[in-house]
Structure 1
Amino acid sequence: MSLQVRQRLGVADVMTLLNAVLGVVAMVVAVTVGPVAAAQLILLAAVADGLDGIIARSQGGTAVGPLLDSIADIVSFGTAPALFLWAATEAVIADAVPASLPMSEGLAVLAASAVPAVVVVFSLIRTALYTVHVGEDEDRPGIQNTLAASILVAAYLAGLTAPAVLLPAAVVLSVLMVAPVPYPKLRARDALVMGVVQVGAIFLPAAFGRVFPRALLLAALAYMTLAPRYYWAE
């Protein structure tokens, strides 16, 4: 039996695969170049994630599309943000572990990996439960891992780089992924506006006093806190 790749994958699936590729590149960049470039790539993956939904709605999706999208989300908005977080906080955490402690280097690695591991675990749980138990037309319980990742990296690009801010925020966002609060999908118009702001945050993160990542952060936080009660999707 042939997998019939060309017959069973559509244009939207190609965009989903691009999302996953960007997530992998973000992971490599996080540990080789640094957290700023990784944050930009994660936001670019989020743009690709939004585009694959638009393409699927306009041209039709495939049977494998939802599963492929879930797997790509784990790569780009679970594992990649975890490595971004490690890159952004590892040096400070390592300095905070006294060198006089036995196995201090190992303890530093464990300490720096703890919150990134939490991010991955909750992203996996959220994605698995959503894939199995939530219908395509239902509101989504818990914040999307795309949203959680976007808030985290937008905060960093906006200038909130202290581990004392990033680590607690990552834990809270991780728990909110499985919170029993339904979130509606963005209207196409609003998703387009968010996409434009995301592009600005990606390519001009420091322009005009970091206006684009700060605007993205404020918009994402507004959706996270207000959407369950005050936002109605089309």
Structure 2
Amino acid sequence: MQPRFVGRLALADLVTVANAALGFGAVAAATLSPALAARLILLGAIADGLDGVLARHYGSSAAGEFLDSLADVATFAVAPAMLVFVVASDAWGVALDGSTAAALGLPALFVAIAVLRLGLYTAEDVGDATTDGVQTTLAATLLAAGFLAGVTTPTILLAATGVFCYLMVAPVSYPDLWARDALVLGGLQALAVLLPDTFGGVFPRALLAAALAYLVLAPRFYWR
């Protein structure tokens, strides 16, 4: 007897659940190699974009949008939070003091806000050309690309994590990327994954710059 989901999932859904597996891989890798965890997060971002392309061209299932948000919790909420926590705890150690509270509390808050944002997106913004608040994929990409680009100071990573906690639920509309721009960003993500140290880390730095430009400029200057 076949499992009940056989024949009910689309190709895009399979990429989505693979994204969730990448999220777990990033969480596990963070304790061994934060750089590998960052690369897996970016690989998950590529999968996240690919499942959208497949859904538009070949269709999705009724469960697609829910699977997408569930996978995003693993890859773009828990994984980047774990990355930041590991970097901070490795630098500061673990003790009952304020630094440990910040190292644990801010990533935990990031996960909570990301889950809230993903739930709101699934309920209200799926299918729209814009979404309110910074996308979890963008926040995770910035943290991962920043780490690979050399931003490894725990204080800076924790501060960025705290800022994203607000921005993910801020009343600011972000337009979806045009296909051509999403392709460029995906190409930079792929190069940052495959060649993070080539030419002095130029590809993670280029990805970081592009993602920051979208973060700051898109609400006012990016038109669809």
TM-score bracket, shorter-length normalisation = over 0.9
- CA change 1:3–1:131 in 2 (3 A) is farther
SS for the counterpart of 2:93 is helix
SS for the counterpart of 1:63 is coil
Provide the TM-score with structure 2 as the length reference: 0.94
Matched, 1:8 2:8: yes
Query: 1:197 maps to which residue?
Result: 188
SS for the counterpart of 1:7 is coil
SS for the counterpart of 1:161 is coil
* Partner Cα distance (1:232, 1:3) in 2: 44
Matched, 1:30 2:20: no
SS for the counterpart of 1:62 is coil
Contact 2:133 2:167 (8 Å CA) reproduced: yes
User: How many residues get paired?
Assistant: 223
Query: 1:79 maps to which residue?
Result: 78
What is the Cα deviation at residue 154 of structure 1?
A: 0.5
Contact 1:157 1:210 (8 Å CA) reproduced: yes
What is the Cα deviation at residue 94 of structure 1?
A: 2.0
Contact 1:34 1:87 (8 Å CA) reproduced: no
Please say which structure displays the higher CA radius of gyration.
Answer: 1
Contact 2:103 2:158 (8 Å CA) reproduced: no
Query: 1:175 maps to which residue?
Result: 166
* Partner Cα distance (2:99, 2:217) in 1: 38
**RMSD, aligned CA:** 1.7
- CA change 1:3–1:63 in 2 (3 A) is farther
What is the Cα deviation at residue 190 of structure 1?
A: 0.8
* Partner Cα distance (1:37, 1:80) in 2: 11
* Partner Cα distance (2:173, 2:219) in 1: 6
* Partner Cα distance (1:194, 1:133) in 2: 26
Query: 2:147 maps to which residue?
Result: 156
Provide the TM-score with structure 1 as the length reference: 0.90
* Partner Cα distance (1:203, 1:195) in 2: 12
SS for the counterpart of 2:6 is helix
SS for the counterpart of 1:5 is coil
Q: Unaligned stretches of 5+ in structure 2?
A: none
